[in-house]
Structures are given as C-alpha cells and as structure tokens.
Structure 1
Amino acid sequence: MEDKKVSNFAIDTIKEIRVGRNTELLRARENCMSDMPDECAFSVIYGDDYDCLDLIARTPEEVNIWVTGLIALTSGQKSLLLTVFLWIESQFDEADLEKEGYISEKTAIRLIRQMNKRLLLTRVTHKVKEAAVLKSSSSQHSGISKEQFVDIYKDLATRPEIYFLMVRYANKDYLSCNDFQIFLETEQGMVGVTRDLCESIIEQYEPAEEARKNGYMTVDGRETLGFTNYLLCEDCGIYDTNRKQVYHEMNHPFSSYFIAASYRTYLLEDQLKGPSSSDAYTNALKRSCRFIEDITILVNVWEPNEAENETEPMIFHGGTTARKVKLSEALYAIKNSAFEKSRLKFPLFIRLYVHLNMDWQLVLATTLENVLDTLLYRSKIDDVDWCNGDRLPSPEELQMKIILIGKKLENDDAESGEVVEDEDDPYIMPQQKPVHRRVRRYVLRKELSDLICPWLKPVLQKELPTTYDDSITNKCNLITFTEGNCLKILQNASAEFTQFSRDCLVRAIPNALRLDSSNMNPLEFWNYGVQFVSLNYQTPGLMMDLQEGRFSDNGGCGYILKPSLMRDDFYTPGDKLPFTPQFQILHLRILSGQQLPRPRGSNAKGDSSDPFVVVEVFGVSADCAEERTKTVRNDSKIFFNQMENENLFFQRTNFFLNPIVLGVNPSFDESFQFQISVPELALVRFLVLDDDFIGDDFIGQYTIPFECLQSGQFKFQRFSVLSFFEFFSQRGKLKLHFAAASGYRHIPLSNNEGDLLENCTLFVHVAVTNRRGGGKPRKRGMSVKRKMQRVNTGMKMTGVKSVDDLFKFAVAPLADSIDLRNKLEAAMVDWQEHCGLGPAGTIRQGLRLMHARTKTAAMNASPPLSPASSGRIYSSKTQAGVPRFQITNIFSKQYEVLSLTFFQHPVICMFGEFPDHLQKTLVSFATLLRICTTILSKTDQLLTKVVMINLFLFIFVKKIWATLDYEGQQNLIETCSERLRGLKAARASENFAWNVRLLRAQLTLMNKTQTEANDIFKQVFDAGRILGILSEKCSSQLGTKRYLHTSSC
C-alpha cells in the first residue's frame, strides 16, 4: 500500500509510528483483510504533509522489531544497556576464582539462580548442560566460558516484549522518572501519581545504582529485573486489589447471596471406594479461606460399630466401603478452620443427616455443644424470632456462628417425637429408591432438635412449588432440588423459578448417579438465582475452577451478593431491554507466557512444550464465548543474532536477543474482544494447553470474575434502585472507583489442583469499554444521522390511563438521556479515530499522543522551535505561529433539585497553526468535552423526573400489590381486565413490568453516563497536570478546589 509516487524518504522526516489499524486506509480495508490480526499492521507518518505509509508484516514479532528499530533510529537516544553486559560479566568474574575464564556447570547453575531467582531450576540446568555439550565438541576446555555464560543468561532472562513496550513508549531503552509517571497514569490507569511515588518505585525495583541516582527505570536481566520486576509485582496483577476485601453489603437476607457449597465434604475421592478423612474438611475450609469462606458441609452421622471397637458416632457414606471418620475428629477440624482468618467471620452452615438411636443422639448433641461451644447457633437464645419475621437474617447479623440444618421436632416442648427421614439423604442409593418406597420415620430427641436451626427446614422438591403452597414456599425452608429435576424446571419455567429463588433459599445437589464425584456446571444454576450449588471439592477440573473463581470475589468470604437485577421484583431472565446499561466490551491482548512447564506426566525429552492459550468467558448464554491463540511450536526459534548483523536497528539499540525457546517463554501477541451483557455473572478463564502432548494436555489456568479484572476503567458504585425513598441520600454517596493499575498485567497460573505454579505467568493487556466504545468503526452518512435522531424509549402502554400517564411523563426525560448517551459514545469513537487510538484507548493515552504530536509540529514550525526550548512550548513566551494547546477550566451552571450551583469543566485552547490532521483531532476532542459539559449540566434534572416516576410506581407495587394475598392479586387482575375493556390483563401486566424494568435500567444508565463524563474530566485534568499542559489559572485552582462535578442530591 505504498504510495507509488514516493520510493523513499529520509528517516528524519518520520513524524510518528502507529501500531494497528489506526489510519483511514487500514480501517477502510478492514473487511477485505478480516483475517489479518491488528497487531500485524503498522503505519509510518512522515513528511511535512503528514503522508502515511501503511505496512503489513507476517507476524506481530516482525512488527515489534520494525517499530523498535525505527523508534531507535528516529529518537537518537543513548542506550544504557551497556551496563547490563558489564554487570553479567562482573558476576562471572567473581565466581571464576581461579581466573581461568571457565566455571563449572554446577557453579554456572548456582550463579544464574542467584542472579535471578524467578528462573526455573530445570530450565537453567537444561540450558547450561546444552551449552556444555556444544562446547565440548569444539573445545578442549571443560566448563562454561564467559561468552557462553553471558549468552545463556541473556537467553534465560530477557523479556523482549517488555523491551519493545519500553522502547515504543519512551523512544529509548529506559524510562525517565517523567516517562514512568506518564506510563503509570496513561497506560496503567493510576490516579494522582506524583514524582515522589515514581522515585520510590524506581528505588524499590531498579538495581543499578547509577540508574537509581538519575531516576531511571531500565530493562535488564538482574535479580530485581527493574521495569520487568515492577510489572510482575502484585500492584500490576490482573486481580483488582480492592476486591480482595469484603466490600459487598452483608446486611441483606441470605436469599440475596450466592453461598459457596460443598457436597459430601468428608470424601477425598469417589463415593464408593474413595477414602474419607477429617483433612477433607480442613482442606475445603482452607480453600474457602482463600476463595469461599463459609461452606455448607454434609455430615452423615451413623452409630458406632462395636465389632470394630468404635466408641463414638462415625461419619461416612452409607452403603459404600468408604473409610469412616470420627465425629469429634471432624468437628474439631471444622472448629479450627471455620473462622481461621479474620475475614472469615460470616456464618458456616452444616447440613446434618442423623442415623442414630436415642442414646447416641444425646451423645451427638453433647459433642456438638462441647466442641463447637459458643460458635454454635442456638435459636433459643436469639433475641429475634426469625420464623415469624418478614425476612430471613443476614450474614452480618450472624457473624462467627455455625448453623446446623436438619430435621427438627414440630413441638418444641416435647421430649422426643417422630420425624420423617431426610429425603435428600445421600446414603440412599438410586437402586434403594423405588417409585413407591414406604416413608420411613425415626425418633428425634429434644436435646438434638434444639440445636437445629428453626428457620431453615430442609425440603426436597421434584417440581416447582405453586405460589400458594405456603408449606413449601415459606421463607423458612431450604428447598433442595436434584441436578436433573432443577434443570428440567429451568427448561420449562425459568422465569417462575428465578422469582422463586429470589425469595426462598434454594439448593441444588448433584445427581445420585455421579458416583465418581464428578461435578455439575454451577453456572446453569447461578444464572437463575440458586443460592447453594453443591460441588465435590475433592474433584478438580473446570467446574471447581469456576467455583473458586466466582467466590474469589468479595474478599473470598464465601458470600457473593446477587446482582441487583436478580433481586428485582420484575426481573425476567433473557429479557433484553433497549439501551442495556451494563453492556461492555472486554479487550484482551495475550502477549506472552513465562516459565511454562510441560504437562504433568510428560516424559518427553527437552524442557519445553508447544503451548497455546484458550480464553473462555462464562456467564449468561449470550456472554459465553471462547477464543484461542496460535500454537507456538517448540522447534521454532527466533534468531535475532543474524538480524543484528543485517540490520542497522540493532546496531543502534545494542539490544541483545539470542535464540529464544518459545515453548517455555512463548510469544503469542494476539488480541480478542468479548461482549459482556451481564458483567456481574461473567467469569473469564485463561487456560494454557500443550498442542504436542497426547493425553492430559493441561499446563495451567486462572479464573477470575469479570468485575474483578483490574482494567483501570472507572467503575461506578451501583445502588439498589428498589429503594427509591433512599435515592437522594444514596446519590450523595456515589463515588468514582479506580483500579490501582491498568493495562499491562501478569496472570499467575495454577495447576489443576488450584496450587500456584512457581513463576508461571501470562503477560496480557486488558481494557474494558462500553458497548459502542469498541469494535469496528461505524458507518458515516446522513442515513446514520437521521437514524440516530429517532430515539425509541421502548415504553409500552398498559391500557390503564392513570398508570399510562405516569409512563408518558417519563418519555421526554428518557429520550433526552438516551440522546445524550448516544452523543457521548459517538463523540468518543470519533475522537479515538482521529487520534489514531484503538477501541480500548483512553483519554490519558489520547492526550499523551496529542501532546507528542504537537511537540513534533512545533519542532517543524516555521521558524522551527529549537530543541533546547521544546520543553517550553506551553510557555507564554513561545513565539507566535508555533502550534500549542492548553487545558484551562471554566465554571458552568448546574441545575440541581433545589438549587443552582456551578462546577468546573475543562476547555481546550489552541494557539498557532496546526497541521490539518492534528487540527481535526483537537476539534473532535473539544466536541467531546462540550458534550460532557452538557451531560453534567442536565442529568440531575432528568434523573429527578425519572426518580419521581419510579417513586410513584414503587408505592403502587410495594404498598398495593405486595400486600395482597393470592386471591387479592387475582381480584385486582380481574378488575384491571374489566377496566381494560377486553384487553388481556396478562399483556397489561407484562407491559407494566417491562416499563418498570426499563425505567430502572435507564436510571442506572443515567448515573453511568454522568459518571463517565466525570471520569473524562478527571482524566483530562490529571493527564494535563502530568504532561504540563494545564494553564497557570487551572493549575492554581485545582490545587485547592474540587474540580469534579458531584451531585448534591
């Protein structure tokens, strides 16, 4: 795609180098080159007219080489990597005590591990022995020479992708303190980064004394790894550190949470012959200390067998040969592990199955009281009668309590009485359950019955209960469904089941035929609100990865608050509302892998594999997706040494790139996009497999909730739109939340048992955008503009005039808010395209690019700006005609509910003559800022109107409908049917529910739009401060005043 009129151009005429499809020509030809990865394209902007040379390489690795070399040629910066060579040689010289120029293989291995502890011992040993064999064939000396040692260490320790990242970002092979500050703000999404913070990070991670003294961050192979080691630290991990503590509201009823549940926890393997142990309880609870705090534990208690010298009740799976566990042994294991860590303070449930006579029941009750002591929940001493209240207790109200679930006497005053055996007792095998099996009963003692929780009565169901069957739908029941029965109900009545699980506690257990302790898919039940999905913790695999990934959120406490839409009275799964507020795009770029081991059980020669990465998204059916990278073959190596001799690039950079065995440290460099409609239920799984291994090809995996991704994008604190009476007070509590870091992430991989693999990671780039903030560019033209002008609010009429009048009143504010949202998204995409940013580009990144391009334009101005004064292009003394821009702030009116206030917003001021392409970029950015200003000045008025309508509807629903019994609801439907004059009341009810959900979704979307506009302003001011493009007036005012709009509602 080179311009035929130009066969060559001078290096010093290059203005900019862009990576990806970030020019008009490449974007226009995206459809005809859909098979080409974005990472294989790059563009060179050159000449006074800013001509564009678009190039396509065969692989992303070639792009990295070309871009790095071009930047090195155009920057003219001096390399600091010479100190790396000297340092490696100095380490060798210290180890060479005899000064012979050789060291032994053992000494070389020990020295390399001492220099860099992150390297795998097996990998180091293999490389040293390989070098020794090659040396012995060409030399009479034994051992490793200095030249060999340097090559081995560079081969093992070098991370080319991080070197490319640094050079492309800083135009040199090191980061100055100012470069590092800009990198943290613009690329990693950090907020309020100061020079002192950057200096402290450099002091902590940079090993070279000279670099620390000058405030530089380098890339090298030392133990502390400089810039590389910083990217490997926890602050640059993919998991949002703010989610590693309990942050969900814990004062909702138990029915509002997903609660981590285990099935037959006493087993270590399968159910028929597998061993049992108290260690199984400890292991499960310790894993819950990490991911799920409180587990529902199945305790199947049987009478002791005197023939086997058993002196206390035993726990085992009846009808099998599984080893038995002593009751006291299991209880002590539970007591010691249940609340082992401080954050594990929420209740632990124990499902108790009893197979004891009256005497042994007394022993069981006494043992429970003696061992569990004050941890045991006793309803007799509870101040609240939860059975007769209007709700279940919350986890917050029963902290540090162990709650027993089982059969209980109907008459609390009786000393004993008959109860029906537990229908969900796991010891009854399928062949022992004939269709007409006689109901068995047993006598229960009062002492044991008093320890059982009265407001969680276990009930086994095969079908969905009717709404008027109080004996089943009572909130004090724990309804249990087998896997098969539950899936059958979900297939035929998913909406009714979701409403049922919103108010009642539901538990799903595996089918009895799963004798191998295999696990069911928990997503199939979580998506419909099932609180307890019981899994076999002793069985590793995909299902347990999803379980541990889900419950790693909220501090790993074992309780996850359901999404607000699942707690909504009118929620219907699968219903797609227009303008869904949570719709997001996940942008993932899989860059490389580090220290990948071979699959377990591999006995192949060599230390490498042929890995590939699979990225899976789990959630609602619309979100489930899977993508995979190419396979990196072990026999394919990149020989950069030859390229160094043939290309001027590497002579200028002095960069060392020896042959890299791709199986251990493979380079993937592939990008994927995933559409997420319900982010609260989505899980992202990274799976690494070996394409060359027959059998178990598993290398490692990592599963994380979508909302725990540390993407650096702002997240607004959602609130329950059901509580409209508290709306105004809650809006005052809304806060912007920023992840600690963004962009480039390292993902720690685990084996199939859930244990971390030593120094085994994936290096990725993560970004999250809204629905129209990414993807392919939208078509332009008048037809698109006319189409955007017709805003459809999606409101439906019910036929009841008084209700329809309320909905009609909401049409105008809804249309205005949708229009503002559309304009914001369109302006953002337009600016990104003019700026040459990808779909995941941020305001900070774009401002940095505009700043760099303006400096380049100023250097090429007539008369040109001298390099010595290039850093002062924003000074008031800059000569006329030199292009420059500043960010200043002005005050605008903001109409709130009861008052008129003012808020500051940024404005871009341009001076001098700009090149045409840069002028368009700045104008589109000014348009984006104007739209944000309009949003912040109008959204409070729109929100107030919608809230008032919701308030009236809330009164109608909560105060009228919810207070009626079933017959009263039917009478109201009949009354509405008469008033509708023949229209179907069912359709009117559906339209009413649709409109209510729509209003609530729009209310959330309005808040999100306002928050996004606030975030844009914040990024502008923060990036302007770092880049030094704020006006003096703006800088002085921002030092003492808040500049973000904050509603006083």
Structure 2
Amino acid sequence: MAKEFQFNWRPNVPSLLQHGSVFDRYDDESTSLEVNAHVRVDEYGFFLYWLIESRDAVVLDLGQVWEARPSGLPKDGRVLFELEQRGARETLEERTIWITHGQDLVNVQSFYLVAETVEIAKAWRIGINEILRKSKTRHVCPTTNLLRYWKWLTLSVNDRRKIPIKLLIKTFSSGKPEKMVLKCLSDLGLCGDKEREELDVEMLTFEKFLRLYNKICPRSEVQELFVKLSGQKEYLTRDRLTNFLNEEQRDPRLNEILFPFFDNTRTQVLISKYEQDNNYIDNGKMSGDAFLRFLMSDENSPVFLDRIDMYQDMDQPLCHYYINSSHNTYLTGRQYGGKSSSEIYRQVLLSGCRCIELDCWDGTGENKGEPIITHGKAMCTDVFFKDVLYQIRDTAFERSDFPVILSFENHCSKSNQLKMAKYCMDIFGDMLLAKPLDDFPLEAGVALPSPNRLRRKILIKNKRLKPEIEKHQLDQFLREGKLDEEDEIIETPEVVGEDSVSPLDDGDTSDDDDPSVQSSSNVSTATPGHSSRPSLDSPPVQAAPSLLAPLDRALSHKLMIRSPRFTLRAISMKGRQPLAGDQRAHPEVEPASVATCPVIKPPIPGETIQCKETDEAHPELKQNFISKNLKSLGFTKKQPILTKEEEERIFAEYHYTGATTNIHPLLSSLINYTHPVKFSGFDVAESNNLHFHMSSFSESTGLGYLKQCAPEFVNYNKRQLSRIYPKGARVDSSNFLPQIFWNAGCQMVALNFQTPDVYMQLNMGKFEYNCGSGYLLKPDFMRRPDRTFDPFSESPVDGVIAAHCSVRVISGQFLTDRKIGTYVEVEMYGLPTDTIRKEHRTKVIPANGLNPVYSEAPFVFRKVVLPELAVLRFAVYDENGKQLGQRILPLDGLQAGYRHISLRSDTNQTMVLAPTLFVHIVIKTYVPDELSGLVDALADPRAYLSEQKKRQEALAHMGVDDSDIVEVPAGKSATTKGKVLQKTNGSAANLLS
C-alpha cells in the first residue's frame, strides 16, 4: 500500500466563480453578441458553464481549457459596436477575458467573456488559471470520475432547466438496451416511461446516480473476487481483509519502514471509511459494496500518489534530468507546406514542455527587415519572431517554474540577429539569463547549475562566437552602436542547421566549421574575464522599432572592456583599405619580401592561417599590423604607447581569420549554459570537459552513435546536454521512439508535439509525473561518473534489482459510447531487453463498449532489467483498430494488486466520463529459474517442506525407496541459468522496429 499520503485533488474555487457573474459573450465567428450570460464554475472545479434565458445550458470541461487571458477588441465591427453601446470602450480590453480550449494542441477554439467591471474580469482570469494549475485533478479515482460525470449531467440542463432523459439513456446505451435503462430509472423513481423526457435536477442526487450505475452495470468480476476472498460469505472479516491488503495489494519489494504492513488497527480504519453498515463496522466486517468503493477510491490508486507531486531532488546539474522538448514548435501540421503559428507555443508550454524550437530567418516582401520564424524554404507560412517571444513570455512559467530553453536555429543576417537579441532582452526582461551565474562560471570542469538555481529563467541555445572575438566585436558595437561595415557585406554561406530545406535531408548539427565559432574540436577555454557577459541596463523600450536605435554612447563606454585578445577579419574592397595580409595593403613592403611570407595572400573565407613570419624577416609588416589594428581595439594616440612586451604578446596571440561568422556579438553574448558546438567525438568532449557545451543529433545520427559507442554516449550525457531531433524524412511530422535515447541519458529528446502518435503519448505520459514540471531526474547510475552503463546490456545493472511484472486485464468500464467490440493491448517500453510490443492483447469482446469483461490470463513481463526506466502502456481499441483510450504508467511508481486505471485521450487529456480498466498487477523481484525453489522455501519453509513430503510419499507409494533418491540443488532446473527471454524480449531490433 502507499505511504501515508493525503491526496487533496480539489482545487480552491473562489466564491465569486461559484456564485457566478453576468457577462456578454462572443467568439471568433460571432456576428452578434450574446448578452447577459450567467457564467459559473461548479464547486469541484470541473466545469465552466453558462445559462442564457430560453436556451440550453452550455457546459465546458475545464480539463480542456488551456488558459484565461486578457484580450484585444473583437474583429467583427458589429460585435464591437454592440459592446460599445453597452459599456465604455476605453476599458473594453481590460474587461474582456479570452478563453482558449480544445482537445489537442492544434485545434484550439476561443470565446470571449466581457465583464461589467475591470475588477470582475481580473478576478475571473486569476481564479480560472489557479484552477487549471491544480494538476491533481488529472489523477482522480473512478469514483471521483463518476462524480464529475454526475455533475456534468446536472449542469447540462435544457431551456426549462431540467435534465433530458436522453442524456442518461446515451450514457449506458453502448452496452445495455434502452428499455433496460428506462426500467432501472423507473425502479429508482426517476421516471416512469419514455414519454417523460426530462428530470428535475434535485431528483438525481449523486447517491441515486451511483445506485443507477451499479444497477445497470453490476460488477460481476468484482463480486467474484469478493466471494473468493471472503470464503463464500457476504462479508470480509478484518483478518481476511488485512491479509488481502498485505499479500495482494502490496509490492513485496517495498521498504517495511516507509511502507508498513497493515495490521488490524489500520484495517479497521479502512472499514470505517468505506463501510456504510454500522453493524458491520462494529464487528470489523466489510461488505461487497464497501469493498467495491475501496477498489474505486483514491486510496487504491494505481500509482504512488506522492509521484504526482514534486518528489524528486531538483538540485542536481541540469544535465542530470530528462527535459520535455519540442521539435519545430511553430508548426501545426506537416514539415513541408505546413502552417506556422505563434499561438501553438502557448499550448506547448502550458502542456509542460521546457525546450522549444525557433527557426529564425530574414523576412521577405512586406516582412523584410524583421526576423521571422518558418521552416526555411519548405513552403511553410511565417510568423514574426517578436510575436512568438510575447507568447513565450506570457506562458513560460504558468505550469512550471523550472527553466525554459529556446533552441534557435538561426539563419538570419546580423542586422536581424541584433533585433533578435534586443527583442529577447526587452520582452523577457529579468526572465532572460543574459549572463552566467557567478558561482557557475563557463570554465572547464564546472558543472551546470540545477533547475532550482535556474527557476523562472529563459536560456537561449544559439551558436556563439569564440570569447575573444565576441568580446572584441561586442566592445566595438557598444562603443560605436554598429559593427564594421564588412560584417554586413561579407557573410559566410548560409549555415545548414538541424533541418534542411529538403524534406529528405538528414542534417547532423546546427554548427558549421567557421573557426570564429567555438566548437568542441577547437576550444579556447574561457577565462574568468570571458565568462561574464556585458549586460544592457538601458530602459525598457515601448515599441519594437525603437529597439533598433543606437545604444546610449555613455552607457556603451561604461560597459566597454578592452581586451588584448583580438582577431583581424577580411573586409570589403569597396572604399576601404584592405586588411593586413593582402599584398595591396602594404605598398611600403617590397614585393620580394611579400612573396616570402606565407600569410600574404588574399583572404580565404572560413580559413584560419597562423602568422609565422619573424621580426627579422618582416619587422615593417609586424609594426604595420599592430599600428593599423590598435584603433579597432579602442586605443588612440593619446593613450600610452604599448610596451615591447605587450606588442610581443599581442602578436604571439594573433590568428588571421579569413571571414567572420554571421553571428552578431550581442546575440552571442546572451548564450551561456546551452552553447551548441559541432560534435567532434566523445573523447574530445571528455578531454575539453566543458559542461556548458552541448550538441544536437538527428535521430539517425544518434542511432549511429548508440550502435557504435553506447556507453560513451551515456557518459557524455552525465556531463553535458544533448538534443535529439527527428530526421528530415519525417515530412508528415511523425515521431520516433524517444525511449531509445532516454536509455542513453539524452536529456532533450525533441518530438513533434502536433502529432499525438504512440511515441508522443509516451512522452506526455512520462513527463506527467514530478508535478508535470517538465524535468525528471535520471537514474542514479546514469548520473554518477564512477558507474558504467550499456543500455543494450541484457545483464542486470550493478546495484539494480531486476523485477518481474505480470498484468491481467479483467474488465473495462465506459470505454466508448458506441455499441462496438473492444480489446486491450499492454506493452512495456524500457531498455531493449525490457521492451515488449505488439505481443499482449486481449480477445475482442463484441458489442459492448460499456462494461466488457475480458478475464484474460496474465500478460507476463518475466525479467525487467531496469525497472526505473520502464513504463507500461495500456491502450483500448475498437474492433476496427481505432484507439479509444490510453495510459502510460511508470513501472517504478506502479502499485501492485487490483487497481482501476483511468484512461486518457490520444492527446493525454482527461475525458468527462473517463474510461477505466480493472486490472490485477503483480510486481516482485526477478528470480532465475534455478533459484525459484530456494526462494519458495525461504518465503514459506513449512509449505515447502510439506510439498516435499507429499512428493516423497507419492514416490514411496510407487515403490521408490528414499535411498534411491540423490539430493540435487533445489529449483526447477539445475542445469540451466533461467529461460531465454521471450522471442522479442532482449532484442535491440525489437526496440528499434
């Protein structure tokens, strides 16, 4: 049984919302206004509903509401005119509540409520959003789900404020004839015949609804279990119930101190809570009805209830967590020719995602001069970069306080990158982590900060200049308000990022080979002076265009830090003196001398050339080089002349770079703990030991590294972040199996959130726990540097006890409102050796979507090597293969015994009348075959000896003398080391198929 844990699922519903307020209402399609709608929220926080005179009630499940937010003016002129006639226009926007809702992330609907006062509108917005933050309502028990459906029935009244009988008939019609439903209603005094088409709300109490449910849908399978446990009696004694709780409902692996066994005292408390017969309570007995109430209660949850709250240590380095991540977040459909949306960023963040992607390009046509977000040249629509930032700002920390990572795939010119940087700084303000934390400098060997240290911070992932180049260019920009004109003229070829323009491309990383960009193979370890970034303390800018104004010169000089480290860059030949290194730049040098210097040649973009000449060979070249570039470093003739030692040091540290990379230094300066570099190998990354460096891999490239060097990949992820994204061939926005990369410790496994396929359901189910924070702590051995782990190993992990799990699907309830056949699949995802798919399914129960009974033999997962990474997936399908509901449950949080599992939609949302499965789960320590007899003997020595004696007597009866029997090791087989796993269990191909 679970630890002593109070599960309070009920949100606080303010009295204002319960009593209701009068609003005017319209939606995006409205051409007229609905006036004087009385809007309320029920006392449980299940539904938002409104009543308008002479109309049926409208009831909206708050489980499908994304948010309540401020709104602008209505698009329709007639609606706006009506609103202006009913109240002051100057407060109209503040009085309007914009409510978005929908059953998935893409198909979002909206409506608007206009309050009488600004204060009422604000109170309603806050109240609704507080209810939406109460995530525990997603994990309520079957009894509470019945309470929710009963509440929906009582709110769904017609224009005469009565409950239509047809709603009750439809509730049960998927498994029972209409005549039977009407007879049960009549037996309970709720209606006499079909002609009576409506019911007074007061007549349908929750107690009567439960009686109706039990009458129409008797739980014969639970009654059968009860008879077996009670020994054919009408009640369970306290002793028998205690034995049931300890033997059937308890995982034997649990710690007895944290999870104590039931004794008669605790059992009596349970009886008093669920039994309604006082005589039974006084005599320590539990009836069949009370037993069913217990099985359907929160106290009998299928998962440990504390897993729903924040239960993990959030003070580990960022790379020690799985991070809920999205790929091409802006797309609402296909990768090629799809629609981009800024609105979907809100839904993705509100669903718990913590890493989102922004593909940034230069706007064209009427959008020219503005950075936009789109899928390159894949014929997708565009959205403005700044519009997306506003959406992120408003929703980043509505569901979780832990950091949000913005993964930029940047194809913009420097002028638009400057806009991007300023937009980020102005729109995000203090939420933006613009420089490293003082106690976590960007230095070799320094671990990443924890999610707790980065609470409510936004981190940018974007290519970054080398520290010395960034500092020099940033100093120049802060001083002059612009960069050298060559930076606008000469640009590197367009960088191929994570996603190619071609839908069939399988790009590797978003980093190119420009030597001005830090990479894992060419690292200049940051010094403390380079670890901190200059910050811009300029006042907030009111309008976006004003962000482009030059920085205040006094502020620029104040923030400028001169550095002796610098790099010369190629420049345009138009109207400018060429750079030292081109023979036309040095008329004072003899051509013969120039010819002998290997560095004297036209600049080659993207190439770094070491200057090898000596003082004796070219003293004039060296002096010319130094003097010509002092000005670019901020030195003037009025300043002291450099000493000979300083000149020597500058010259010794000089590199020639043929072309600057296309990264603006201001944007570069905002990058800290998510600094992407081109991956150059696990050995190089380990040698550099720069924890703030990270790399991105397509799924295909990631699989290649997993195949070749899986343990090294795991070790890399102990120290640094990695991001995995779908291959370019997934033009339909399908997803890959994220479990493959979770097994290697990859933190940011980015999926297409707009596609609710099986793999996205796995992602949503996994991140539902730990308070839906978007961060899950990896297993201990995947974090510790002194442990080695191979995700393809079939042997038990050192220090981890393998588990045995079996699942028996007994029955289903309210699986569909159609009279159709159904079946159930049970799968396990984990290590390749633990993964079993498409093997365990029940038979089809025809023409019953209401309460089918399967009573299948147990589905056995014989040996689970790593329970901490494994999840069980339950899915219900109709006879045509259409999914009706699903649920993902972590194996290490699963409770053993007879449990009800509430199912979710394919987008992992709850349903008004949640379908449930009644199952029997057995979880215990895995025991090899040759040791099973010994374990049985240790577990129950008397039973074991009794069984041995019976066998001995049987042999004696057949004339076998004791002296003829040779003692052999106890167990089913003394010569084998356990059976081979099932045909697909233990196969890496099974996981990858």
- What is the TM-score normalised by the length of structure 2? 0.53
**Residue of structure 1 in register with 2:670 after alignment:** 451
Of 706, 723, 735, the residue aligned with 2:891 is 706
Q: Is 1:384 matched with 2:453?
A: no
Of 152, 161, 181, the residue aligned with 2:221 is 161
The correspondence of residues 16-415 of structure 1 with structure 2, limited to 5 A, is: 120=171, 122-123=173-174, 127-128=178-179, 143=194, 156-171=216-231, 172-175=233-236, 180=241, 183-189=244-250, 191=260, 205-206=274-275, 217-220=286-289, 226-288=290-352, 294-305=353-364, 307=366, 313-341=371-399, 344-379=400-435, 382-410=438-466, 411-413=469-471, 414-415=473-474
**Residue of structure 2 in register with 1:590 after alignment:** 809
Change (3 A) 1:753 1:520: same
Shift of 1:246: 2.9
Instruction: Output the CA distance in 2 between the equivalents of 1:834 and 1:335.
Output: 69
Instruction: Output the CA distance in 1 between the equivalents of 2:277 and 2:716.
Output: 63
Q: Percent identity?
A: 27
CA contact (8 A) 2:301 2:900 kept: yes
Instruction: Output the CA distance in 1 between the equivalents of 2:438 and 2:769.
Output: 30
CA RMSD of aligned residues (A): 4.1
The correspondence of residues 916-927 of structure 1 with structure 2, limited to 5 A, is: none
Give the residue type in structure 2 aligned to 1:366.
Answer: K
Q: Is 1:426 matched with 2:499?
A: yes
Give the residue type in structure 2 aligned to 1:254.
Answer: L
Shift of 1:349: 0.9
Instruction: Output the CA distance in 2 between the equivalents of 1:710 and 1:242.
Output: 12
Change (3 A) 1:744 1:833: farther
CA contact (8 A) 2:796 2:865 kept: no
The correspondence of residues 681-692 of structure 1 with structure 2, limited to 5 A, is: 681-690=869-878, 692=879
- Number of aligned residue pairs: 592
**Residue of structure 2 in register with 1:560 after alignment:** 776
Give the residue type in structure 2 aligned to 1:749.
Answer: L
CA contact (8 A) 1:597 1:664 kept: no
Q: Secondary structure at the match of 1:534?
A: strand
Instruction: Output the CA distance in 1 between the equivalents of 2:922 and 2:337.
Output: 48
Spell out, residue by residue over 1:350-379, the C-alpha distance to the aligned partner (whole angstroms, 9 max, x if none): 112334444433332232122222211121
Determine which structure has the larger helix proportion and give its number: 1
Give the residue type in structure 2 aligned to 1:429.
Answer: S
CA contact (8 A) 1:237 1:745 kept: yes
Change (3 A) 1:177 1:387: same
Instruction: Output the CA distance in 2 between the equivalents of 1:320 and 1:521.
Output: 25
The correspondence of residues 937-1016 of structure 1 with structure 2, limited to 5 A, is: none
Spell out, residue by residue over 1:221-253, the C-alpha distance to the aligned partner (whole angstroms, 9 max, x if none): xxxxx4323322232121211222333333332
Change (3 A) 1:203 1:303: farther
Structure 1 spans left out of the alignment, 5+ residues: 1-104, 114-118, 136-140, 221-225, 289-293, 599-606, 636-660, 712-742, 780-822, 837-915, 918-1049
**Residue of structure 2 in register with 1:571 after alignment:** 788
Shift of 1:584: 1.2
**Residue of structure 1 in register with 2:905 after alignment:** 751
Give the residue type in structure 1 aligned to 2:324.
Answer: A
Give the residue type in structure 2 aligned to 1:170.
Answer: S
Q: Is 1:623 matched with 2:811?
A: no
Spell out, residue by residue over 1:184-217, the C-alpha distance to the aligned partner (whole angstroms, 9 max, x if none): 4444337365778666655655566876787764
Of 810, 828, 839, the residue aligned with 2:939 is 828
Of 609, 629, 644, the residue aligned with 2:820 is 609
Instruction: Output the CA distance in 2 between the equivalents of 1:825 and 1:444.
Output: 68
Shift of 1:689: 2.2
Give the residue type in structure 1 aligned to 2:497.
Answer: D
Of 844, 858, 864, the residue aligned with 1:676 is 864
CA contact (8 A) 1:298 1:351 kept: yes
Instruction: Output the CA distance in 2 between the equivalents of 1:448 and 1:240.
Output: 45
The correspondence of residues 413-562 of structure 1 with structure 2, limited to 5 A, is: 413=471, 414-415=473-474, 422-426=495-499, 428-429=501-502, 443-453=662-672, 455-461=673-679, 465=681, 467-468=683-684, 474-562=690-778
**Residue of structure 2 in register with 1:737 after alignment:** none
Instruction: Output the CA distance in 2 between the equivalents of 1:466 and 1:527.
Output: 17
Instruction: Output the CA distance in 1 between the equivalents of 2:435 and 2:899.
Output: 48
Change (3 A) 1:512 1:216: same
Q: Secondary structure at the match of 1:554?
A: coil
Of 757, 764, 768, the residue aligned with 2:919 is 764
Q: Secondary structure at the match of 2:903?
A: strand
Spell out, residue by residue over 1:257-298, the C-alpha distance to the aligned partner (whole angstroms, 9 max, x if none): 32222101111111123322233222222222xxxxx52211
Give the residue type in structure 2 aligned to 1:375.
Answer: M
CA contact (8 A) 2:804 2:926 kept: yes
Shift of 1:579: 8.4
Instruction: Output the CA distance in 2 between the equivalents of 1:299 and 1:434.
Output: 17
Structure 2 spans left out of the alignment, 5+ residues: 1-161, 187-191, 197-208, 251-258, 475-482, 514-604, 607-658, 954-993
Shift of 1:571: 1.2
Q: Secondary structure at the match of 1:521?
A: coil
Q: Secondary structure at the match of 1:397?
A: coil
Change (3 A) 1:611 1:301: same
CA contact (8 A) 1:266 1:281 kept: yes
CA contact (8 A) 2:797 2:866 kept: no
Q: Secondary structure at the match of 1:609?
A: coil
Instruction: Output the CA distance in 2 between the equivalents of 1:614 and 1:443.
Output: 52
Give the residue type in structure 2 aligned to 1:701.
Answer: Q
Shift of 1:547: 1.5
Shift of 1:404: 0.5
Shift of 1:383: 4.3
CA contact (8 A) 1:163 1:173 kept: no
CA contact (8 A) 1:688 1:698 kept: yes
Change (3 A) 1:161 1:832: farther
Q: Secondary structure at the match of 1:589?
A: strand
Give the residue type in structure 2 aligned to 1:620.
Answer: L
Give the residue type in structure 1 aligned to 2:923.
Answer: V
Give the residue type in structure 2 aligned to 1:428.
Answer: V
- What is the TM-score normalised by the length of structure 1? 0.51
Give the residue type in structure 1 aligned to 2:229.
Answer: Y
Shift of 1:329: 3.1
Spell out, residue by residue over 1:654-688, the C-alpha distance to the aligned partner (whole angstroms, 9 max, x if none): xxxxxxx5764323242122110111221211122
Shift of 1:538: 1.0
CA contact (8 A) 1:610 1:663 kept: no
Instruction: Output the CA distance in 1 between the equivalents of 2:387 and 2:946.
Output: 66
